[in-house]
Structure formats: structure tokens, C-alpha cells
Chain A
Amino acid sequence: MFILHHLWLILALPLAGAAINGLLGWKWPKAAVNSIGVGSVALSFLCVLELIREFLQLGASQVPYFEKYFNWISAGIFKVDFALQVDQLTIVMLLVVTFVSLLVHIYSTGYMAHEGGYARFFSYMNLFVFFMLTLVLAANLVLMFVGWEGVGLCSYLLIGFWFLKDSAASAGKKAFITTRIGDFGFTVGILLAFWTFHSIDFGTIFHQAANMPVESAAAFGTLTVICLLLFAGAIGKSAQIPLYVWLPDAMEGPTPVSALIHAATMVTAGVYMVARMHPLFSRAPLALFVVAAVGAVTAFYAATIGVLQTDIKKVLAYSTVSQLGYMFLGCGVGAYAAGIFHLMTHAFFKGLLFLAAGSVIHAMGGEQDMRNMGGLRKKIPVTYWTMLAATLAIAGIPGFAGFFSKDEILEAARNSSGATVWLWVLGIVAAGLTSFYMFRLIFLTFFGKPRYDEHKVHVHESPRNMTIPLSILAFFSVVGGWFAAPHFFGGTDYFEQFLHPVFAAYAPPTPAIPPEAAATSTPAMELLHSLTGIPVILAVLGLFFAWWFYIHKPDAARRAKESLRGLYSLVYNKYFIDEVYAALIINPLLWISTNVLWHGVDETLIDGTVNGTAHVARGLGGQLREIQSGNARTYATWVVVGAVGFTVLLIAVWMVR
């Protein structure tokens, strides 16, 4: 029980790594930086493995396991402890975070080998792991918020890692500010939660919430408001409509960063938060509906943009936005376990896709535009095969990880109550689009004839420290979904079963989602149903169209583009959302701040008054000074005027009395 009793070790290792590399690493050789940077995460990963062994020995009554270290904030009745907790949900997240982090760190030793700021990179990455683990392990809302903001900081630092590029610096800033807009809601949500429950500890909040009735969607109450506010934070952090705009820009960061932070872990924090706060969400049907609707719409919307992107990483970025939408759809229809399941499989295959894309970019000497690639299949076979595995997984081809998790979500969406049927429709259409744009990516990159100058670009497979992480992730992209596989043959979903204690503990008395109906009774039918289900058909159709447009009839794509010029330009330009935000919000705000507030109120109105008073005083003084002319006759006049005036005054007073 060593790790259980010393949970802080899991956090302290990456933090120490970040501190050592950040303070001393810049004068160390790369090998030393590597061993600190990778070693700390590896040790943390081993700690998590040991933690799981110990955790499985705990009795049901000991979960969630809670450990308090010190009092961090204390004023009046508001107290925040540095306290960590472990339950099944935490375990899943810990495993995903440390495992993917470890692989990405190893990969980075190859990918970043020729970059400046090597130690700085690993320092930031370790710091990210520290904050992400804090977020996951936190036992109260405020500590979770610390991790939440901390990963945002690391995201900012790492997107802007190549700070000499203005676009990278701007993208980092945009990411931080956009997520902060969401955090506005998150902060107010914490305030409201505290004054509703008089505590910010998860245990206390959930316990009290469990005694509250389920609110109705029509006449919603405090719980719904809290959930919606918290979800605003998730919208920012997990890049959902309308705050998704930062994620595609975040691709300015080094590719391992995109893989770890902007695909596998940080962006899924919102999903984790919703799942963590499920006792509240489950009692706020309206909030749940909003979660599901935002998720489904984003899944569809981002997929349409992904179809026309030409930058290999941008395609993956929109794909991430879209897949995150699926996770929210799952949580929103009450299938939290399915959402977390998709989070996990997505971490494998999307992490892999990014790393593989990085390997492609590495091979192409920095080229990211797919229009300038093609025919790479033979030249970088490991990258090709691993990326293909991930693509099959994300497209939802049966047998691969993504199939199981996505299917569970769509199943849950279909089975949930009436109003959400159209969400399911959006979901399956997005599934078809996903398959299309992913195979489009594969075909454009790896098939066809090379569209680059083969004399200038020397395509080469990546070194082993990059391909081994790819292979490991490819393995998990294939088998990662098999926890749930027996479910499709009428057996148990081991993943869901593992998480069951978490989501059953505070479930409302009447579950929002009725348990799946009789379908499970006929395993063969169920299997057939899933295999031939509409999502699978659409996925295959997507593959087919991608093949048709980009392999079979390459001209077809151009013709389609010309015949649908308006729509094409709308989607190609990402619906002009960035421009709309600039025109409607940013520019007016800057204009008002400059011209109305600063020049208008500050300089003209207030300072005008202040200086005006001074000028009047000075002017008056100047006028009065004229009286003091030194001319005796003038003085004599004034004496007379004064005497007369005084006399008149005296008489007037006397008469009045």
C-alpha cells in the first residue's frame, strides 16, 4: 500500500522533473535531459501501475480512497485542502495520462532532437503531466481547477514553444484566452457550487446532491445552473462550439504536444470533469441535454470542416474537436462510461495519428500540406501501417478500438429518450464524414504519385525512438476496445463494469437512461446489428467515397469543388468563424477600449475636468493678478469701490434688521 499512502509521489515526480530540467537542464547534454524528462514520467507510470495493483485490493467501502495533505486556502468557512482521491474513474484517467505521456515523451526524444530549447521543452511537458495528474487526482473542485488552469498554462507555453514564429505565439495566446473565457463559467460555477453545498469537496457535494431531487428540464434549478456553468469551462477546455477556435490554431505547437495535450489528454479534461460531476449532471436533465446537443453538433460541424482541410495536422485537429463532441454526446445521454471509454480509445488512436503525422512531417522535412505529399506508403512503412491502424480505429471499422467506443455512444444516444434522436442522426452522419476525411488523409499522404520534389526532399523513416511508440499505440488502437468486445456477443462490458461503482454510487433513483432493452438477449442478432449497423455502413461509405475521389477519379474532387463553389469556400474557410469573432467581438472591444474608454472617458472627460479645473483656477488667478498692477490710481479706485460697497452692505443689513 506504499503508493496509495503516498499518492503525492505520482505528482511529485513529474514536477521534480520539470523543476530540474527547467532550472538546470539548459546546460546539460541531451542524454541527461532525456533521462530526467522521460525518467520522471516513466517512474510516475510505474507508480500508477503499482497503484492499480494496490487499488484492486481495496474493499468497496474504501473507494474513493482519500488522502489529505495540507490546508491550502482557509478563510472563514471557505477551506480548500490539498487532498487527492482515487476511484475507478481516476484509475482509468491516470493510466491513460501516464501511459500516453510516457510514449509521447519517448517519441519527443527523437522528434525534438534537433530543436533548440530541448530542456525547456521537456520541462514544460513534465509540468503538463504534473498539472494533468493534479486535475485527475484532485479531491475537490478548486484543486481540480488548479490542474485545469495549469494544463492551460502548459498548453500556452508549448503551443508557443517556437516563439520566434508570430503565428505560434498568437496561437498560444489565443488558446489561453479562449479557454479562459470558458473558465469564466467554470469559476462562477465553483462559486455557486460552494454556496449551494457549503463545501467544494467532491465527497460532500455528491453526498448532498444525492439527496436532491432530479430537476425538471422545464423548471430547472440550482443544479442545472451549476452544471451549465461548469460545462462552459468544458466547452473552452475541450474545444466545443462556440469556443473550439483555438484548437486548430494550437497545431502551431510541436507535434508531440499536439498528440499529448491537444488530442489525448488535456482537451479531454472537460469530458472527465463532466463525468466526475455526474451526480450533479444526472440531476440536471436540461444541462445533460445541452451537453449532448453541443457534443453532437460539434461532432458533426467539426467533421465537415475536416473534410476540406489540406494541412495534415489541421485535419487531425478538427477530427479531435469532432471526437470530443462524441464523448460529450455520450456523457450527455447519461452513458458516462461510454464517454470515458471513447476518451481512452481516442487517446490511443488520436495520439497515434498525431505522432504518425509528426513522423510524416519529420520525413518530409517539415512539410505539412497534404497536397505536397503522396506515395509515401513504401518509403515510411512503419508510419504508414501504424497510421492506417489508427485510421481504421477512428473510422469505426469493426474490430478496431474506435468501433467499440463510438458504437456504444451512438447506441446510447439512440436508446435515450425521444428528443435526442436527431443527436444520434448527427452522430452517425459525423461518423461517415470521419471515415471520409481520415481515408482522404491516408490516400492523399500515402497513395498516388509523389507531389513533391524528390530531389529536394529526402524521405526517410523516423528513428526507432519514434517508431516504437507508434507501434505500441497502434497495438492499443487495435485491441484497446476489446474490453467491451464481449458486450457485443451478449457478454459483459468489462470497461463499463469496472467503472460501474463510480457512476452507480450517486445515480438518481430513476436513471435518466433506461437500461438497454431486450436486444441483449439475442447475442447473435446484436452482433449482426452492430456490424451491419448504420454507422458501419456509413464508415464504409466514407472510405469508398474517399477512395473514389482521391484514388479512383482524382478529377472528381476538383469537379465537385467547382460545382459547389459557394459551399466549398464556406467550409474551406471554416465557416469564417474566426473572422466573425474578430468583426463582432474583438475589434469592437478594442475600438471601444481605445476610443471611448481611454481617449474618451479617461483623457477627455476625467482628465479634461481635472485639467480644466486647474486651468480655470490658473486663469482666474491670472485675471486677478492684473488687479495688482502697481498703479496707485487703480488702487485708489479700488479703495473707493471697496468703501462704497462696504457702506452699502452695512446699510442693507441695517435696513433688513
Chain B
Amino acid sequence: MHAQNHFLTLVTFLPLLGVLAMLLLKSDDHVSIRRIALVTSLIEFVFSLGLLRYFSSADPNFQLQEIHDWIGRGIQYHLGIDGISLFLVLLTTFLTPLAILCSWRSIQKNVKGFFISLLVIETAMIGVFVSLDLFLFFVFWELTLIPMYFIVGIWGHERRVYAAIKFILYTMFGSILMLVAILWLYNLSPGTRGLPATFDFPEILYRMSHGQIPLGGTTEMLLFLAFLLAFAIKVPLFPLHTWLPDAHTEAPTAGSVILAGVMLKLGTYGILRFCLPLFPHAVMRAAPYVATLAIIGIVYGALVATVQRDLKRLVAYTSVSHLGFVVLGIFALNTIAVQGAVYQMLNHGVSTGALFLAVGMLYDRRHTHDIKQFGGLTTPMPVLMAFFCFIALSSLALPPLNGFIGEFLILIGTFAGHRAWAVWATSGAVLSAIYLLWAYQRVAFGKVTVDKNQKLPDASLREKLILVTLAAAIIFMGVASPLFTHRMAASADNVLRPFNQMQEAMRAKEHARAKLAISAPHPAQLSRFVGALPRPEPRRLVAPTSAAVLCSAGGSPAVLRPQAALECGSLFTLNESEGLPLCCNEAFVAPGTSGHRNHAPTPAALTAATTAASLIPLALRHEGNPVPPQFAGMGVRAFRVPDGVPGRDLLFPHPPLAVSATRVRHPERSRLAARDRAAEGSLFGFVLADSPARPAPASPRLLGGRSFSSDIRRPVYRSGALAPDLLLPSHPLTPGASPKSIAASPRVAP
């Protein structure tokens, strides 16, 4: 195990060894420089394949982790990979040798600097994929920019300076906002428990998902947007894409290959790695908008690509379209779509990288990208054009080539939740055939129209080697996709866990509601059941300010009227000020009445109970819901009902949730208390309707943790006998529980 511990460091920095070696060479020794670059990148590729050996596909956590203290105050050197970054690292190490090979002859100016830049970029990109410390991540993120800036600006074509500056300013703009967000997160990281501040991503994620770092809705959204902007520029997401066509058109071939093949994925990777797990609620809220932009990008990129006259610019616009698919897949928040998105990142890297390589080979011959300058190229160069055709087919997602699988998985996954999105995105698949085949026809078919093209040499051995490698990858990824998806499945699920939990809760809710709508318990039966519950000593009755409701989690839609809750009957109350939950089952307190009366629950009270219960999911789902004024200052909690409560299965079908609504006197304290309880797992959700200090009913805020387990004080409940008719399996009171589970439960058996 120890031997592997430095494996990731080795993989990350190995290219720099090549750089060191090159520094020792004279700068006019081009042959040795090229050879060293190629050999280094090949060794690097072989080494990175070793990751597959040590990687366990069943483990959703980060693997091959490496942690060292770096710059005090919470900045660590922390590396690790999961099923998502694994393949992106491999994509990087796969494409770099090809990029070096394709620059073999075409780069003649300052050869040393060029190959050094390529290898530095390789290290930086791998660094981005394997860093688990936000600070380290940012360092690598910025490190990718500088060599690329030089590659475009020095070795590019005519308008290279404009393109390079546009590229770096665009990206830097996003990076700066991300830096602010990272620092903000660092400052938030001590959380409620006052732990040491840290940049460590898994640690921050742990604290967040355990409710230790309170984020208001706005804070979360701002942080999310700052990260998203940086990533969206990189992707690029419409309308932030205009740097891309310029950068691609002006970059040398190797620059385009690296840029399209890997650097664009830094953006989508960032969204997957950071935005989704850290800011799930903001993601949920923003998903429709981001997905809309992605779909616009798909269609827009395709349409604009169709009418391009410059071959490289055309390919650049296809990236806008294809990356739109990836972003759509991510924001579909569904494991099929996310796996499809990751797969599509790899496909795009291979296919579009290959397209750029092929276009570069044409450029090497003719020094132009103008489609008009080509035409009929199949006659002089049948082999090169055959490969070009094959690559284009892969890019337009022809089954059974690689592009099809990614695109289809994204479509399938997106369709599950958002049919309209999937249908719009499918149109992109039609358009891709138009722009690629039209371009191919103009380049390859017909008679040779330009005399210079008559005698162009066909693909050389070096070029054939590049093309055959890519074609093999295209076929392999098309046929053997489970080899990839099996390894990324666990990680994709891990990224989606918060969303799956939210969706599961929603589903359960709807399920319960649907069942209740079919057979809602009759109030009289419910009251009989309540009457049969054991009564603890009515010693400590609660003040009328505190009203709590215990009822089924499945409120039927018929009782969703908030007014009903005003008459707020409470079955059980929690006395927050005492710090102990106290049960007081005879108190049915209507607001406005002082004191409490011992009486049987009225149907109205029961209705109110159900209503209050439906508040939680409402708040969970529609955070923007206006709060009924009656609930101003109420904290509504949902907690799990422990197993010991008699008749639990009858009243709390899916999941066994209880809900309490309490007027909160110390909002901040309650919030923190709720947070801690959520962290312990006893609380499912906590919604503060609004604080009494600011009575205007603003939007409620969801504050709580997301996991739950049973931790209600047991002594409060004692098992007791129930009226026999309540236990009949066919009883209308058994909406959620199957008759079998009731009969099997020893506690409720008479």
C-alpha cells in the first residue's frame, strides 16, 4: 500500500521530468527535444494505465489518496481519484503523445519552448483532475492557462495575439470569481463546531453534508454561481463561448487538440466535482436554467457550425454543441445521464481531438483552413480522407461508435425527468449529421477544384499512426463501454447522492399522498387510534406558544389548506426551551386560546395535523413558496418516529416521519440546535418559516441536514393495547403499510 501512496504524485509530475531533461538540451537540438517529449509522454501514458490496476470500481470514495501538509493554515497537498477523474487523467495522457506527434514537423519555431509548454500543460491538467484541496486545485487550474496562452500566442496563426488575450481574459475573469468563492468557503469551513478552517475538499464536503456549515439559500447560490461561472466559461456554455472559436482557429494543431480534448473538460469536470456535491440545493434551483443554456448551446452551436467557411472554426463550434450535451447530462441529475456525460467527455476528447488532428494535417499541407480551398481531396489523399470520414461519423454519434453511447445515455437519462429537454437535445443529433457531412462533402468529394491540391501527399506513416490509434480508440469505446461505465458508476452515484435523497423523499411523499388520496383514514378512526395511545403523566404541559403536530408524513392534497393549521391542534408537543422533548398528548392548543384543555382530538385538529405535516415536503420542494402569515416565526421539523411507537406503521407509512411545528423564540438558537440534531441524524428537515424579528413572510429557508435515523427519546412512548379493529389488515387506516408488515409486528399485536 505504501508503495502506491505516491503513485498519483508520480503520474502528475512525471512530465516535468521530461521538461527537466529538455532544459539541459541545447535549444537547436530539435530531434532530441522531440524524442524526449514523445518518450516522456508515452511513459506517462503507460504509467497512468497503472491507475486502472489499483483502482477499485466498487469503491465510491476517493482512492490512491495522498495527503501532506503544505502551506500551513489548512492548505494541504491532497490528491486522490475516483471513477470520474480516473478516465479524465487517462484521456489526458492518451492525447498528449498524439499532440506531440502531430507537432513533429509543423512546429519549427522555438521548438524547445513548445514541447516544454505541452508537458507543463499535461502536468497541470492532471493536477486539476487529481487535486482534492481547493487551493491546490486552483493553483493547477491557473497553471493550465499560462502555457496555453503561450501556445496560442506564440505558435498560433495570424490573429493569434487577439485570440490568446481573449482566451486568457475570459478564463481569468471566471477564475477570479472562483477564487473568491474558494476563499469564502474556507472562511465558512470552521462551521458551527468551530473546527479548524480548511481548503480540503472532502473535509468541507463532509462538514457540509453533516450540516456543520450553515449556508443560507443566498450564500449557497452565490457560491454556486461563482464556481459555475468559472467552469461555464471553460466548458464553454452558451453565451460564454465566443473565446473558443477564436482560440481554436488561431491555435496550432496541438493546442487545439489539448484545448478541445482536455481543457474544455476541466469545466465540466469542475461542475461535477464541486458544484454538484457542495451546493445541491442551488443546483436544484439552477438546473432548469443551466440546462436551457446547454440546450441552446447544442442547437446554436450546431447551426452556427453548419454555416462556417473555416474548417477549424466549424469544428470549434461543434464543441459548443457537444459540450452542451455534457452539461445537459450533468444537470439532468440522474445517474444514467451523468455517466453518459462523463463518457461523452471522453468521447469528445477523442473524436474532436481527432477532428482537429485531421484538420491540422490538411493545414500542414495547404496552410489554410478555408473550406473553399479544399474540395475533392479524396483523389489525392484517399487514406487521410477515409479516416476523416470515420472520425466525422464518430463525432455525429453513429452507432456503434463511441459518440453514440455518450449521447444516447445522456438522452435516456435526461428523458427520465425532463422529456422536453431530451427532445430538444435529440435535434442536435440531426444537426450534427448536417454540418459534418456537408463539410466533409465540400472537403473530400467532387473533382479537385484547386490546382495546388492535385499533388498533395497522402497520410505519412507518422500521421497514419496517429489516425489508426484514434480510430482504434473510437471503436474500442464504442464496443466496450461497460469497461468504462462500470468503473464510473459508483462515483457518479456518489456525486448524485444528495439529489437522489431529495428525489427519493419526494417520491415517497408522492407515493404516500397518492395512497392516502385513495384511502384517507376517517377522522373518527384516527381519533379512536389516538385515544388508544398511552398517556404519559400530564405534568409538564406546554405553553400555548408552542404547538406541535404529529401525524402522517403523507398529507392528502385535500387538506393542504394552511388555514386549517391555524386551528393548530397538536397531538404531541415538544418543549424546546427545556431542551428535552416532552410528550403531552392531550394538549390540543388552538392559537389564540390560552392554556390548554384536555379533550379528545377534533377532526379539525387532525386535519390541521396533516396539513402541518405537508408543510415540510412543501418547503423542501418549493423553497420559493410564500409562507402563510400564520406560520411566521414557526419552526417546522420533521423527525423520524422510532420503531417502538405503537401503530407507527398505521399512521406513518412512507417514511415514518413525524412533524412538529413550533413557534420559535430564538431563531438562531433553534436553527443551530436543529443543525446539530440533523447532524446526529435525528432530524430530517428543519424549516424556519421566518423569524419573529422580521415578521414579513419571506421565503422559507431550508436549513436542515439530509440524513435521518431514529433518535427520539424512547421513554416518551410506551406500547399499549390498541383497539382490535385498528389492526385489521383491510382497515382503511392502513394505506401505506402492507397487511403483512402489520401482522408481523409483535408490538401492535393484541
Chain A interface (Cβ within 8 Å of chain B)?
A: 71-78, 142, 145-146, 149-150, 153, 156, 160, 163-166, 168-170, 172-173, 176-177, 180-181, 183-184, 187-188, 191-192, 194-195, 589-590, 592-594, 597-598, 601-602, 606-607, 610, 614
Q: Nearest CB to that of A162 among chain B residues? A: B445
Q: Please measure, in the bound complex, the distance between the C-alpha atom of A504 and the C-alpha atom of B408, giving whole angstroms.
A: 33
Task: Pick out which of these stretches binds chain A: B218-226, B428-436, B615-623, B640-648.
Answer: B428-436
Closest chain A residue, CB of each to CB of B417: A195
Q: Contact residues of B with A, CB < 8 Å?
A: 166, 169-170, 239, 241-242, 245, 300, 303-304, 306-308, 334-336, 339-340, 376, 378-379, 393, 398-400, 404-405, 408-409, 411-413, 415-416, 419, 422-423, 426-427, 429-430, 433-434, 437-438, 441, 444-447, 479, 481-482, 485-486, 489
Since A177-B433, A601-B300 are in contact, a sample of 15 more A-B pairs with Cβ atoms closer than 8 Å, ordered by chain A residue number, is A75-B409, A76-B339, A77-B336, A160-B441, A163-B446, A165-B446, A168-B445, A170-B441, A184-B430, A187-B411, A187-B426, A191-B415, A589-B303, A610-B166, A610-B242
- Nearest A residue to B428 via CB reads A184
Residues of A with C-beta under 8 A to B408: 73, 142, 187
B482–A73 contact, CB under 8 A? yes
Tell whether A163 pairs with B378 under 8 Å between CB atoms, given A73-B408, A606-B239, A606-B242: yes
The answer to whether A590 touches B430 (Cβ under 8 A) is no
Say whether B412 contacts A176, CB under 8 Å.
Answer: no
- Bound-state CA distance A183–B399 (Å) is 12
Residue among B241, B413, B426, B489 with most chain A CB within 10 A: B426
Cβ of B499 to closest chain A Cβ, rounded Å: 13
A607–B163 CA distance with the chains assembled, in angstroms:
12
Inter-chain contact B379/A164, CB cutoff 8 Å = yes
A594's nearest neighbour on chain B, judged by CB, is: B307
Q: Which of chain A's residues has its CB closest to B303's CB?
A: A593
Chain B residues near A160 (CB-CB < 8 A): 441, 445
Look across to chain B and name the residue whose beta carbon is closest to the beta carbon of A22: B386
B422 contact from A146, A166, A191, Cβ within 8 A:
A191
Q: Nearest chain A CB to B387's CB is how many angstroms away?
A: 12
Q: CA of A145 to CA of B438 in the docked complex: distance in angstroms?
A: 23
Distance (whole angstroms) from the CB of A458 to the closest CB of chain B = 28
The answer to whether A180 and B433 touch across the interface, beta carbons within 8 angstroms, is: yes
Of the residues B245, B306, B486, contact of A74 by C-beta under 8 Å: B486
> Can you name 8 A-B residue pairings with CB atoms under 8 Å?
A75-B340, A78-B412, A150-B399, A170-B441, A173-B441, A188-B426, A602-B242, A606-B241
Min CB–CB distance B232 → chain A (angstroms): 13
B306 touches A590 (CB 8 A): yes
Residue among A165, A183, A191 facing the most chain B CB atoms (10 A cut-off): A191
Q: How far is the CA of A593 from the CA of B437 in the complex (A)?
A: 17
Query: Nearest-CB distance from B57 to chain A (Å)?
Result: 12
B346 to chain A, nearest CB (A): 14
| Given contacts A153-B398, A614-B169, A73 and B405 within 8 Å (CB-CB) | yes
Please, which residue of chain B has its CB at the minimum distance from the CB of A170?
A: B441
B446/A593 in contact, CB under 8 A: no
User: Contacts A598-B307, A614-B169: A75 and B399 contacting too (C-beta < 8 A)?
Assistant: no
The minimal Cβ–Cβ distance linking A146 to chain B, given in whole angstroms, is: 4
- On whether the beta carbons of A76 and B304 are closer than 8 Å, the reply is no
Task: Assess whether A164 is in contact with B376, with CB atoms less than 8 Å apart.
Answer: yes
Q: Nearest chain-B residue to A146 (Cβ)?
A: B399
Q: Judging by beta carbons under 8 Å apart, are A75 and B376 in contact?
A: no
Pairwise interchain contact A169-B422, C-beta atoms closer than 8 A = no
Nearest opposing residue in chain A for B440, CB measure: A173
Residue among B245, B339, B393 making CB contact with A75, cutoff 8 Å: B339
| Chain A residues, Cβ within 8 Å of B169 | 614
List of B residues within 8 angstroms of A165 by Cβ: 446
In whole Å, how far is B546's beta carbon from the nearest beta carbon of chain A? 44
> In the bound complex, do residue B340 and residue A610 qualify as a contact, i.e. CB atoms below 8 Å apart?
no
A607 and B169 alpha carbons, distance in the complex (Å)? 13
Q: Which of A76, A142, A173, A192 contacts B335 (CB 8 A)?
A: A76
Taken together as a complex, chains A and B put the C-alpha atoms of A192 and B414 apart, in Å, by: 11
CA distance A98 to B383 in the complex (A): 30
Q: B438 to chain A: which residues have CB within 8 Å?
A: 173
Inter-chain CA distance A482–B400, complex, in Å, is: 40
Instruction: Compute how far the CA of A212 lies from the CA of B129 in the bound complex, rounded to whole angstroms.
Output: 49
Residue from B239, B336, B427 in contact with A76 in the complex, judged by beta carbons closer than 8 Å: B336
Q: Please, which residues of chain B bring their CB within 8 A of the CB of A75?
A: 335-336, 339-340, 409, 413, 485, 489
- Using CB atoms, name the residue of chain B closest to A173: B437
Docked-complex contact A194 and B412, CB < 8 angstroms: yes
Complex Cα–Cα for A77 and B413 (A): 10
CA distance A90 to B404 in the complex (A): 26
B481 near A164 (CB under 8 angstroms)?
no
Residues of A within 8 A of B422 (CB): 188, 191
Contact A184 B426 (CB under 8 A): yes
Residue contact B481 to A72, C-beta cutoff 8 Å: yes
Q: State A184–B479 Cα separation when bound (angstroms).
A: 23
Q: Are B481 and A74 closer than 8 Å at their CB atoms?
A: yes
Question: Distance in Å from the Cβ of B432 to the closest Cβ of chain A?
Answer: 9
Please measure, in the bound complex, the distance between the C-alpha atom of A610 and the C-alpha atom of B521, giving whole angstroms.
62
Q: Evaluate contact between B429 and A74: CB separation under 8 angstroms.
A: no
Shortest B693–chain A CB gap in Å is 27
CB–CB A73/B303 < 8 A: no
Nearest 6 Cβ contacts at the A-B interface:
A169-B445, A593-B303, A75-B339, A191-B415, A76-B336, A146-B399
A597 B335 Cβ-Cβ under 8 A: no
CA distance A194 to B404 in the complex (A): 17
Contact B429 A163 (CB under 8 A): no
In the complex, chain A residues whose CB is within 8 Å of the CB of B339: 75-76
Contact A598 B304 (CB under 8 A): yes
CB distance from B391 to the nearest CB of A (A): 14
Residue of A nearest to B393 (CB): A153
How far is B242's CA from A146's CA once the two chains are assembled, in angstroms? Answer: 35
The closest CB in chain A to the CB of B407 belongs to: A187
Whether B433 lies near A195 (C-beta < 8 A) is no
Interface contact B398-A149, CB-CB below 8 Å:
yes
Tell me whether A73 and B481 are in contact in the complex, defined as CB-CB below 8 angstroms, given that A164-B379, A170-B441, A187-B429 are known contacts. yes
Known contacts A153-B398, A169-B441, A607-B242; is A191 also within 8 Å of B411 by CB? yes
| Min C-beta distance of B504 to chain A, whole Å | 15
Instruction: Kindly name the residue among A146, A177, A180 whose own CB sees the greatest number of chain B CB atoms within 10 A.
Output: A180
Task: State the CA gap A597–B434 with chains docked (Å).
Answer: 17
Q: Are A593 and B485 in contact (CB under 8 A)?
A: no
A593 x B306 contact (CB < 8 A): yes
Q: How far is the CB of A127 from chain B (nearest CB, A)?
A: 12
Q: How far is the CA of A75 from the CA of B341 in the complex (A)?
A: 11
Min CB gap A169→B, angstroms: 4
Report chain A residues within 8 Å CB of B447: 164
